[in-house]
Structure 1
Amino acid sequence: MAPLDQSERGDAVMVSAFGVVVPILASSPALREAVLDAWQDALTDGPPNTEPVEVNEPDVAAALHHLSPAVTVRAIDARAGQLVMLHAAALADPETGRTAVLVAASGTGKTTASRTLGKRFVYLSDETAAIDPHGVVLPYRKPLSIIESGPLKTQVAPSTLGLRTTDRECRLAAMLVLERDVDHQGAPLLSPMQTVDAIAAIAPQSSYLPAVPQPLHRLADLIHLAGGAHRLTYSEAADLEHVLVALLGAGE
């Protein structure tokens, strides 16, 4: 990695993504302020350990829209082979750090679930749940991508949305495969999965899993650490709160 020169280091915005410090270089003071606002919950003083992500689009909204996946890719590349990284939201009980990982494909409800439940539970990520071999779920407090108007999603910091964050250690306690069905009636349906079926469902929703030593064994170990995996069928994100309360042992 080429080191930042002195002027770049002073101007760079450092953000933390599951332990990776990614420097962001904005092309204008206005864009830098927008980055600081959107990424305020992920800011860190740590030294960078990846190449910088440069943002130089003149339109601030477009720049922020494209920045989030660029930072994510940079961090995922840096942790390849070290962590199990799932396409998942991660929400933790604020008192105990017990964490539910909600696995789902892109565009199928992770951000909505995070935004809805993150006022009760701690928001760790709405996109990438990065888990170490001991079951520690590392935070990635990126902005949430909110659909407002037009083709670009607005990037909003978790705390701006009223979501909870924490610096305490959070550990995997529940592994859930989300299945949103708008026609589902009644309470969410929580169905236990056989480990082989859980692996088949979860492995495709991962990044660099083959780079992890003994990847399927590692994933199976995490599933067992969580007490098994469950398929969670539901209609609306608000309906998931009581399920997570029961699974994480959170107080009412």
Structure 2
Amino acid sequence: MTDYRKLFDLTGKTAVVLGAASGIGKSSAEALASLGASVLCADMAAEGAEATAAGIRNNGGAAEATTCDAADAADVTALAAKALQKFSRVDIAVTTPGLNIRKTILDYTEEDLDRVINLNIKGTVWFFQAFGRIMTSQKGGSLIACSSVRAVTIEPGLAVYGSTKAAIGLLVKGFASEVGRFGVRVNAIAPSIAETALTGPFKQRPDIYNLYAAHTVLNRWASADEVATAVAYLASDAASYVSGSTLFVDGGWTGIDGPPTGLTQLAK
């Protein structure tokens, strides 16, 4: 009989999390470490990355921190080299950074467009290249990127951001088709609304906060930890036959056509 508990165990595995200073990246690093992985926490915010690594170590885990600009190809390549030097192999590589400039298409400037594409699309490609080379060489590994519900459902001002998140889903499918023969899996998570430091200001606007909560069937925001559990699953052997997929962690947002309002009672 299969030991299903062991499938989720990451003891002896190595992981790199880019975007580990805060939010979903931070929780992902903590989740992987909690399940036994040794984690390299990377972020442009050096102090935040070190704080995440220190928190993991204080809880008995193994973690170190380093700096990396996810939109800089040379930086991402250097991160992969550093990880390989430290671990000798990289079993799990997760990238979470993303940028949204909320403007209508008519208002977008070339600078706006470049910033969003450079991080969201090019950054994902650089990450896949750098860590994909390591994983194809070692004949195994799990790559995880971060998409969004905005890849499939949209509102005014999010078209450019949403298009980059949709692109990530296709990059995942395409790269999975290219590296699967080497035993490398490539997937993405797609959160909807998660409570992080970046979304904290929404709590100051209860009307907006509650409006977004109502888009989910659970009528609430996610915690970053709830999203990180999906990362941990995709990183683990429990997902050994999952590749080329985007796992939606959206509280049912994409399962319904608009907010589930107007219901006074459940049908009997």
Which structure has the highest helix share of the two? Answer: 2
TM-score by length of 1: 0.30
TM-score by length of 2: 0.29
Which structure has the highest strand share of the two? Answer: 1
